[in-house]
Chains A and B, each alone.
Chain A
């Protein structure tokens, strides 16, 4: 009896763990809220570590590069080579600062163009596990970031905040398969829903067969999802096919390069749900 129980222990543990995880997932799906208490706690605990780790790992990488670069040089040339390396490093840093400056200027321009309160953030990590496409940014509730805030850059929509820690926040990228943004064709004003497809970009659903759509048409946000302001670029139509349910199959190429995200802008505006009207009053 006891032997049979001990043999079954792994199976019982498996069933227990999987059930708990299923409950956890169904709760999030049901409420539509990404940041559960557990996730918030984990994000808060891990946030400072990632921020610290990001700095120290970069320093470690710099150290390693310097070491690898200098290794094997002759003794009499060490000082000169080190000096040369320093100058080169300074030059590289200068170039890096110049590029960063350009990007930040773009951000500033975007901030002015949008005329919305916003905060600039740096992308700490870009994560892709399985189907999910996420980014971790170095701004959190301390900086005014809240759940469901829109994240954009100069190219267009980056994603939306789905979980907020004190000093970090998790952003669901536009190409994440769980992501959905209300879109509109700039040329025809036809509307639809832009859904993520991971590495394959996005697709636009609920576009009628009667709608005139051409490859190269620009899709922007319609503002109907009450997360993204109207008129921000989502992408360009890459292909259009006739669908089988009176709708078109449209593939969208996002404008944002999700492999090279460094700085983003979090729009600090939330569309508050309108108060429900009671009939008869």
Chain B
């Protein structure tokens, strides 16, 4: 399967998974962003160009369903993809702990990027509480590390 199809399939799976989570397990759905996990997975395993394209696509899909301004998620996921990809090319991130760390960092970076974007666009911005950020960071970290492990087993 070529990388384009793989990417498309990954996006469909992430969309369906996120939809299921928010619908049937809303508490978990708020703590886990499968699109972020997908982008970080690409960042640590693929080249930067693919990471950015998957980040933009994932963000746009997320924007259509969950955002008032089309492009906010796409912007932050593209940026996070690029930065995490850069980190991934410098450091070894093939162990669970560093991966958990990079997922946590990606979650924080996304939150701050969104607040920054809102301010740049002259919109009302609310920084999520520290508790929410930590919960989301840990949620993405644990679920992401688990998904990375599962995908590595399947490959």
Contact = CB atoms under 8 A, between A and B. Distances in A.
A152 B40 CA distance: 38
B126 A198 contact: yes
A280 to B, nearest CB: 35
Contacts of B76: 130
Main secondary structure of the interface of B (DSSP, over half): helix
Contacts of A125: 19, 22-23, 65
Given A13-B49, A14-B52, A177-B125, A21 B71 contact: yes
B66 A128 contact: yes
Contacts of A17: 52, 56, 78
Interface string A70-94: 0000000000000000000000000
Q: How extensive is the interface on chain B, given as a class?
A: 35 or more
A29 B132 CA distance: 27
B49 A9 contact: yes
Contacts of B132: 199
Contacts of A10: 47-49, 52, 82, 85
A126 B22 CA distance: 6
Interface stretch (B1-9, B93-101, B110-118, B143-151): B110-118
B70 interface: yes
Contacts of A181: none
Interface string A164-198: 00000010100011111000000000000001111
B20 A42 contact: no
Interface in B99-155: 110-111, 114-115, 117-118, 121-126, 128-129, 132
A177 B22 contact: no
B75 A18 contact: yes
A200 B126 contact: yes
A50 B19 contact: yes
Contacts of B63: 39, 129
A129 B78 contact: no
A156 to B, nearest CB: 20
B70 A24 contact: yes
Contacts of B26: 126, 259
Contacts of A66: none
Nearest to A46: B64
Given A13-B52, A129-B73, A130-B111, A178 B68 contact: yes
Interface of B: 16, 19-20, 22-24, 26, 29-30, 33, 35, 47-49, 52, 56, 60-76, 78-79, 82, 85, 110-111, 114-115, 117-118, 121-126, 128-129, 132
Given A172-B68, A179-B68, 11 more contacts: A22-B71, A54-B19, A125-B19, A128-B22, A128-B30, A129-B35, A129-B63, A130-B114, A131-B115, A132-B72, A176-B68
